[in-house]
Structure 1
Amino acid sequence: MTTHEAPLTKVFAPPRESSELAQMRRAHTIGAALFKVSAHGAETWGWQGRTLSRRAGDRWLRVVARPVDKAPGATWDGNAQADALLPRSVPRPRLYDVVEWIADGHVYRAELSEYLPRPALAAGGPVLGRELDPPSSWWAALREALAATATVPTTRTTVRQQWIDRHFTRLLGIPAPPIAWTTGHGDLHFANLTGPPLVICDWEGWGQIPVGFDTGLLYAYSLLQPGTAARIRREFTHVLNTPSGRAGQLVALAQLLQVTARGIAPHLARHAAHLTATPVP
C-alpha cells in the first residue's frame, strides 16, 4: 500500500506565488465592490489557493478563479446548483447572488451567501483535531440530510469510475470492488459542518459518489479521535456495514491516501487493511 506524505493542511493555504496571492485578493475586492458590500475579517483559502472567502457584514463572499482557456469544472457552479436543486430540508447556507467577470487572463466568479455565525465544528482543516460530542438530534439531522441528498438525480460527477479503475489497486493493493452510486456532498468532514443546529457547508463538489463515500470520508478524517470515530460508525452502521458501503469507504480512503496528512496516514492504512480483511456482517 502506497502513501504520499503531502501535508493536507498546506493545500488549504494562500497561493505560494506573490503575484497569484495579489491577484486573488484584488479579485475579492472587485467582487465586494460589485455586490456593494465591505469584506472584513480573516481570509479563508480553499483547495490549493484557488478560492478566497471572507465575511462581508451578514454575508459571506467567496471568489473563485480559473484561466480563460480552461473549461469550468463541476465545482465552478456547484454551490449555485446545490442551492437550486437540493431539497430545502438539507440545511445549507443560502446563496443570494452570483456574478462573473474576466480580467488578467482569468474568469472570476463571486458568490454572496449567508454568513453562519456559528463556527465549523473543526478548525484548521478537515482532519479532526479534538473529540466532538454533538447531541443525538444533530446526528439524526445529518442522517436525514444525507438521505435527502441521495434522492436528487444529477449528472454531476464527484468521483469518477475512471479514477477508481486507474488508482484503486495502485493505492490499496487490491482489485476495485463493484460500486453502487448515489448523490452526495463529496467532501464531508467536520470543517464543513456546524451546529447544533446542523448546517452543511461547501457544496461546490457535490454529485455522484459511491454509496458510503461521504460517511467514509467523515470517519477517515476523524480517525485521530477514536471516540468521535466510534460514534460515526454507530450512527451510520446502516451504510458502513454493507458491501456497497464498505466499497465506498475504500474509495474514500484511496483518495485520501493520494494527498494525506502526516499523522493520519498510518490510521488510513490500518483502516483500509481492516476493511479488506474483515467479512461484511
Structure 2
Amino acid sequence: MDKASGKLWTGPEDAERMVPREVPRPRLRLVRQWTEGDDAYKAELYDHVTGETVSPTPTPVSAAPRSLPAAWWSSLRTVLSRLPVVRTDRTAVRQAYLDRAMPKYLAFLGGPVPAVPPAWCTAHGDLHWANLTGPDLAILDWEGWGSAPAGYDAAMLHAYSVGVPETAERVRQELSEVLDSEKGRFAELVVITELLQSAERGDNVELVPGLQRRAKEVWHRMRAAGSDGH
C-alpha cells in the first residue's frame, strides 16, 4: 500500500493525459485499482500494438535489432523533437543524483565531469530496443517519464547499443543532430553513469567495457570543444 503512489504508479495515466498523440504509443483505455490486505494492485488495458518490439527479447540488451526502414527513424526523430517540449512536473532524472553519482562512476576518466547544461527537457526515460516496436514505431512503457537532461532519450538508445558496433553506428548516424551536440554528449555521460551503477547490481554487465570506451570518447570530445571555445 505504501508504494501505491508516486511517479511509477501514475506514469502511464499521466502520459495518456499529457503526452500528445503525435508521439506514437498504445492508447491507455482503462485502469482498475484495488487492495487486498496490505497489498495494492493496478491493471491497465491498452490498445493492441501491431508489429513486434525491435529487440527479439524483453531485455534492453540483445542481438542486433532487425533492419528498420527509413520511415521508422524519421518517426523517432520526430518524437525526439516533440516530446522534450511537453510540460510536466514529473522527474526522470534528478540533479542531486547527478551531483552524487557522476563523479563516482566516471572517476576512471581522470578529470572533472563537465557542468550540467542549463537545458532540462521532458524524456521518455527508458528508451531502449525492448520498448520500441517496428516496422511502425510505437513507444511502450511510460512509467518513468519526466524531465531529464536534453538528449537523454537518444543517449539511452545509443548506450544500450554499444555492445553491437554496427547498431551503435546506425544510432549515431540517425540521431547525430542530438548526439553530436554538447548537450547530447553530456546526456551520454549521464546515461553511462546510470548503467555503470546498475551494472554493479548485475544488470547488463556485458555493456560495461563499451560504456567505458564511449565515455572516454565523449569526454575527450567535450574537452576538445571546450578548449576551442565551442
Specify if TM > 0.5. Answer: yes
Equivalence for 1:188: 127
User: 1:250-265 alignment to 2 at 5 Å?
Assistant: 250-260=189-199, 261-265=204-208
State TM-score, norm by structure 1.
0.73
User: 1:80-99 alignment to 2 at 5 Å?
Assistant: 80-99=13-32
The percentage of counterpart residues that share the same residue type is 41
Give the number of aligned pairs. Answer: 214
User: 1:129-168 alignment to 2 at 5 Å?
Assistant: 129-168=63-102
Equivalence for 1:21: none
Equivalence for 1:19: none
Structure 2, unpaired ranges of 5+? none
Matched letter for residue 183 of structure 2 = S
Equivalence for 1:271: 214
Is the strand fraction higher in 1 or 2?
1
Distance in 2 (CA, whole Å) between partners of 1:113 and 1:213 is 26
Deviates more, 1:71-80 or 1:89-98: 71-80
Cα offset, 1:131, TM superposition: 4.3
Equivalence for 1:26: none
> Does 2:116 correspond to 1:116?
no
User: 1:244-255 alignment to 2 at 5 Å?
Assistant: 244-255=183-194
Structure 1, unpaired ranges of 5+? 1-67
State TM-score, norm by structure 2.
0.88
Distance in 2 (CA, whole Å) between partners of 1:143 and 1:244 is 16
Cα offset, 1:73, TM superposition: 2.1
Equivalence for 1:52: none
Is the helix fraction higher in 1 or 2?
2
Which has the higher Rg, Structure 1 or Structure 2? Answer: 1
CA deviation vs aligned residue, 1:30-82 (integer Å, no higher than 9, x gap): xxxxxxxxxxxxxxxxxxxxxxxxxxxxxxxxxxxxxx234622111111111
Distance in 1 (CA, whole Å) between partners of 2:64 and 2:10 is 32
Distance in 2 (CA, whole Å) between partners of 1:240 and 1:92 is 24
Equivalence for 2:140: 201
